[in-house]
Amino acid sequence: SKLTVAKAKASLSPLAQRAQICNAVAVSSITANSAGLDLGHGAATVMGQKEIASFLELQQEDVSPLTPAEVVDRFEQSADFKLKGFLSFEGFCAFLQDTRNFAAPVEQNKWKEEIMDHPLSHYFIASSHNTYLCGHQLKGESSVDMYRQVLLTGCRCIELDCHDGENGSPVIYHGMTLTSKIAFESAVEAINQFAFVKSPLPLVLSIENHCSLPQQQKMAAIFLRIFGDRLVKNFLFESDHDDDPYLPSPNQLKEKILIKNKKLSTGIVSGVVSAGSGISSVTRTVGGRAWVLKNQNSDSGVPEDDEQFDEEDDEFDFEEEKKDSPDTPHPPGTKKPTIRRSILQSVHTNERLSDAVVQAQAAAKARAAVGPNATTPLAHQVTSMKETSAKQVFRRFPTANVPCSEKQLQRVYPGGMRIDSSNPNPISFWCFGSQMVALNYQTEDVSLIINQALFESTGNCGYVLKPEVMWNKLHPLHSRFNPLDKDFDNIPAAIVSLQIISGQFLCLSNPTAGLMVELEVQGLPHDCAKFKTPISNRNSLNPIWYETFRFQLHFSELAFLRFTVIEVSSYHTVAQRTILLSELRKGSLSCCNNSPQ
């Protein structure tokens, strides 16, 4: 591209051409050139139709749909220049700062129906943890309105922690805490009202069920009455009945609601509770064999760890029971197989509630599908792990989870120590194939901003197709992909060159502040990096950095760029923007700012 200058030399070197463009961008908001940059030795700087066309084609690579004549007509302020078909410096700057030239115009993104035909397990799914909470995990307020707020972001998996209510109707709150309670029915009504306002794609309700059988009966009745035909109550597609079944696609389940809860299996279920002892056992007869489900009891009121505090992990051990009766006396000093009383109630799932659980059946053992002795995952089961358990499993078996999650949904949620409602970095779990990384949406920290950046790429519909290596059996690394590797065979590394030129009106309250830009690369462990520009010299209104960074990415499909403008004296964040690398366009572009975070 060429920026022509009246009475200037007829030709410029490519480097000089690039420098003039960058200079123009750098002083785009300075009415008088006080930056000391060369814009043509005092002559009037204009671009003709040919130069505009060259700039659009070579520099911007046609990111703007406008023709050169339309650029002049829309952005040139001088009537004289507009009549002659010239674009002045001011007009050029106005064009560059237009929304058409945003570095990542995610506001214009829309989800594409043609890419929503894969099974549900092939997508990352926007997911919320303890959706009802407004703040703190132990003493925060619960609110029905949080379901409205979260659903309007495009979130497609929300959580309901259900407990017995004093008036015989179930309530939602964080059990064994000081959080306030909301009516289960009110929450379901809000969910039904806003379920498909932002996105028509399927919504998953993750139920943490602590209710007694009578109140589970009421839960089921409320679901059926309020959701009606939206609720998936039966297998609907041929793929559900295949010898090797797989999940339906988002397109097939448009405006449908899936319930994630424990599902009653075929067979005889019986339970034994030792009154006063706090010990219970459950025996299940399936296929003529007796199995006992056992775990620790938490009736003491003091959880031994966060798995007992937060019942989502579902890590129960199935062991074949001895042929003698479960009531056979045990040697002194030993305990009978135990299970928490609340889990006993969950195992005794109400039949009507169980009937509403179809495509998202909570698996009995979260870690069973990963590891050297893993069995083939069942497509209609959903496994859940807290973040610490997931990290341990993924570090130990780094290549095992991606093939498992190709067929089965997996949910990872924040650990029990995050009582302040902070969030883990979702990339740590996405890169191993986990679809539903449940985050605390009430806390807009860096992790939630990264989550937002991913789902902005499909217009906040709540579904993003996973990288091809995670689902395409023809991919060279299929079933061998290890996110912890430094290099990947058959996946060429990407070289990124990015130049931070300038900023405009970044800190109006302190125009003489010194600013710098931090560029952080977030992605697979060996792709992460951080860079900094020099500090602007007492100029926060129109700082000029003109700094170029070059770096290599081994797996660019899950790489994010986080730009943070920092006021150096206080190290306060003035503005920030996080962009999925694949959304970043080429050319001389504007990166609009999010609110400081």
pLDDT band at 161 (very low <50, low <70, confident <90, very high): very high
> pTM score, two decimals?
0.81
Separation of CA 579 from chain center: 13
Give CA–CA dist 134/118, Å, rounded.
Answer: 34
User: What pLDDT band is residue 63 in, cutting at 50, 70 and 90?
Assistant: low
| More confidently predicted of 145 and 511 | 145
pLDDT in tens, 267-306: 434 343 333 333 334 444 433 333 333 333 333 332 333 3
Q: What share of the chain is helix, strand, coil (3-state, %, to 5)?
A: 25, 20, 50
pLDDT at position 503 over 90: no
pLDDT of 534: 95
Mean pLDDT of 533-538: 90
Instruction: Determine the pLDDT at residue 337.
Output: 42
| Residue that has been written with the tokens 């130069």 in this structure | 51
In terms of average pLDDT, the best of 327-331, 334-338, 413-417, 503-507 is 413-417
**Quick one: pLDDT band at residue 60, thresholds 50, 70, 90?**
confident
Highest mean pLDDT among 292-301, 433-442, 481-490: 433-442
Helices (H) and strands (E) in the chain, counts: 15, 24
pLDDT at 542: 84
Residue 54: predicted pLDDT = 85
pLDDT for the residue 540 = 86
**pLDDT for res 302:** 29
Structure confidence at residue 397 as a pLDDT band (50, 70, 90): very high
Whether the per-residue pLDDT at 74 is higher than 50: the answer is yes
The closest alpha carbon to 225, from 171, 185, 181, 285, belongs to 185
What's the pLDDT score for residue 218? 97
Kindly list the structural domains of the chain, giving each domain's residue range(s) and its CATH number in brackets, ordered by start: 2-31+45-106+482-592 (2.60.40.150), 119-263+341-355+379-470 (3.20.20.190)
Question: Could you give the CA distance from residue 184 to residue 511 in angstroms, rounded to a whole number?
Answer: 52
Catalytic residues: 129, 174
Tens digits of residue pLDDT in 541-561: 888 898 999 999 999 999 999
pLDDT higher than 80, residue 331:
no
For residue 271, what pLDDT is reported? 40
- Axis-axis angle for helices 89-96, 14-26 (nearest 10): 80
Match 């964080």 to its residue by tokens.
174
The answer to whether residue 471 scores a pLDDT higher than 90 is yes
The predicted-structure confidence for 190-235, as pLDDT tens digits, reads as follows 999 999 999 999 999 999 999 999 999 999 999 999 999 999 999 9
- CA 547 to chain CA centroid, Å, is 31
CB-neighbour burial class of residue 32 (10 A; exposed 0-12, middle 13-18, buried 19+): exposed
Rounded CA separation 329/263 (Å): 31
Query: For a pLDDT cut of 70, what percent of the chain falls above it?
Result: 74
Distances (CA, A) of 331 to 275, 295, 297, 324, 334: 19, 19, 20, 14, 6
With H, G, I as helix, E, B as strand and everything else as coil, classify residue 36.
coil
Pick 493 or 592 by higher pLDDT: 493
Give the pLDDT confidence of 367-396 residue by residue, as tens digits: 445 655 566 668 999 999 999 999 999 999
Contact in structure between 453 and 560 (CB atoms under 8 Å): yes
Give 105's pLDDT tier (boundaries 50, 70, 90): confident
CA distance 304 to 167: 30
- pLDDT at 196 (0 to 100): 98
The average confidence (pLDDT) of the chain is: 80
DSSP code at position 2: -
pLDDT at 62 over 80: no
